[in-house]
């Protein structure tokens, strides 16, 4: 069994998300940035990660980014992508990202299960955690898309 530090666990989730979007939508990202407060927080996909190391996965973005990703994934014109399509796209990204990270960590000491993904929507949302909760944040972006990942360890 390989032992991984929670401090660098975010890389597994970010790599999974980047690879999934690259394969499914043909998009690549410039840089992996660390951000505490995002300005693109219109819609957040969430998955509870219960297990030996309890956590919560948050993937946060905006409608325009999701509309672009969905358009690239399905070949649909951006203006024809519905709100339902946008919501489904984010739930699938959360599901695939968590599943891929879980598989990548399967031979490590980081063990968790997956819940159903769910969404939060609204302008100016903030994800706040108690002081004792460890939160790691990163952002992927290119010319059309900005998407953030936060992982909270309970």
Tens digits of residue pLDDT in 69-122: 999 999 999 999 999 999 999 999 999 999 999 998 888 888 889 999 999 998
Distances (CA, A) of 142 to 29, 59, 107, 148: 5, 16, 32, 12
pLDDT tier, 126 (very low <50, low <70, confident <90, very high otherwise): confident
Question: Does pLDDT of 6 surpass 80?
Answer: no
Domains defined along the chain, listed by start: 6-153 (3.40.1550.10)
What are the C-alpha distances in Å from 32 to residues 37, 133, 140, 141? 15, 23, 5, 8
For residue 77, what are the CA distances in angstroms to 32, 51, 86, 135, 152?
Answer: 28, 40, 13, 36, 35
Average pLDDT, integer, range 138-147: 89
| Residue 65 CB coordination number (10 Å) | 23
pTM: 0.88
Q: Helix, strand or coil for residue 44?
A: strand
**Residue that wins the pLDDT comparison between 96 and 39:** 96
Q: For residue 153, count other CB atoms closer than 10 A to its CB.
A: 17
Place of tokens 């948050």: 58
What is the model's pLDDT at position 41? Answer: 66
Quick check: 100 and 106 in contact, CB under 8 A?
Answer: no
* Average pLDDT score over residue span 24-41: 69
Winning range, highest mean pLDDT, from 110-119, 123-132, 135-144: 110-119
Nearest to 20 by CA among 101, 130, 78: 101
Of all residues in the chain, what percent carry a pLDDT higher than 90?
53
Say whether pLDDT at 40 is over 70.
no
């Amino acid at each position: 069994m390989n032992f991984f530090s929670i401090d660098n666990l975010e890389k597994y989730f970010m790599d999974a998300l980047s690879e999934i979007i690259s394969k499914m939508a043909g998009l690549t990202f410039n840089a992996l940035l660390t951000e505490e407060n995002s300005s693109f927080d219109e819609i957040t996909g969430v998955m509870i990660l219960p297990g030996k190391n309890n956590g919560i996965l948050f993937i946060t973005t905006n409608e325009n980014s999701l509309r672009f990703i969905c358009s690239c994934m399905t070949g649909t014109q951006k203006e024809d992508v519905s709100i339902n399509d946008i919501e489904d796209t984010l739930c699938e990204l959360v599901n695939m990202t968590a599943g891929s990270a879980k598989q990548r960590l399967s031979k490590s000491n980081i063990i968790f299960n997956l819940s159903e993904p769910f969404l939060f929507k609204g302008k100016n949302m903030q994800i706040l955690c108690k002081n004792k909760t460890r939160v790691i944040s990163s952002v992927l972006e290119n010319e059309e898309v900005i998407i953030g990942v936060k992982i909270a360890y309970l």
